[in-house]
Amino acid sequence: MESRRPNKKRLAGLAILQAGLILVLFQLFSGTTKADSQVIEIHSAEDLAKIWKDWAYPDNGHYKLMQDIDMSGYGNWEPIYLFSGTFDGNNKTITGLTSQTGGLFGLVNTGGIIRNLTLENVNIQSNSIFIGSLVGSNYGSIENVKVIGGSIIGDSGVGGLVGVHDGGTITGSETSIVVKAADSFAGGMAGDIRSGTISRSSTSGTVEGGSNAGGFAGNAVGTFEEIFATGDVTGTSDIGGLFGGFGNWSPSLLSDSYASGDVSGDEDIGGLIGSASNGITVQRSYALGM
């Protein structure tokens, strides 16, 4: 009987197929996918709109903005609902973001990072709560982001950069934008800061709200170093040049900071802080306006 020799090409093909299968299984069980390691380039508003919605643009992807984007003719922007990846603005500018819902991102989860980005001339008018020009609800990290020009109007928890900030960090960021809340919790940087660390950041736009309005934040809990606000603030109660309310019965630190805008309200108003609770520490901080 004639013996059959192994087909070398077939064996080589099987070996390649097996190696590919092992790689796929490794990626699946280790939690590593192509999106985790590959930088996805963003060139247009249409590319931005694909994040979270398109399987090729996952919420945990790594993104880089490759050029300035003018969104003034895009129409109503729907925020990127959920994000836990990295968005590098690459020191580029997004101009003319217009929305009746919220800012660029809806929610940035723990581990999410947004950095090196400028938003210019935003126009956000919404009846929603917890809205910010960059992020509605932030649990991640924001680094070197600017919001320059325009306005953001909402119901409650309205901020020039973020609506509500809880547990994350903000560093080296600034806003110069009109902020208005129909109800409560309005701030040049954030409507409501529930925890976290913010440093080397500033605001210079006017803030208007009901209760808890501040040049930097409507209410603040956490650690704050080298922050300042220069815009005027108006509201009803708990109104401050920097913070409307500070501490909320949780240990909090403010150091090397100031406010210089004028403040007006009905009760519990202050050039630096409108109202504060036990457990706070204020160091080397002051107010110039009133």
User: Cβ(101)–Cβ(77) under 8 Å?
Assistant: yes
Decide if pLDDT at 23 tops 50. no
Decide if pLDDT at 31 tops 90. no
User: Cβ(259)–Cβ(271) under 8 Å?
Assistant: yes
pLDDT recorded at residue 244: 98
Decide if pLDDT at 19 tops 70. no
Dihedral angle over CA of 38, 43, 48, 54, nearest 10: -50
pLDDT band at 14 (very low <50, low <70, confident <90, very high): very low
Domains of the chain in sequence order: 38-287 (2.160.20.110)
User: Cβ(89)–Cβ(117) under 8 Å?
Assistant: yes
At 156-171, the pLDDT tens digits run 999 999 999 999 999 9
pLDDT average, residue stretch 35-42: 79
At 97-130, the pLDDT tens digits run 999 999 999 999 999 999 999 999 999 999 999 9
Helix (H), strand (E), coil (C) string for 145-200 = EEEEEEEEEECEEEECCEEEEEEEEEECCEEEEEEEECCEEEECCEEEEEEEEEEE
pTM: 0.87
At 215-256, the pLDDT tens digits run 999 999 999 999 999 999 999 999 999 999 999 888 999 999
Nearest to 227 by CA among 240, 239, 208: 240
pLDDT recorded at residue 17: 38
Q: Which amino acid is at 93?
A: T
pLDDT band at 13 (very low <50, low <70, confident <90, very high): very low
pLDDT recorded at residue 248: 81
Q: Which residue has the higher pLDDT, 161 or 20?
A: 161
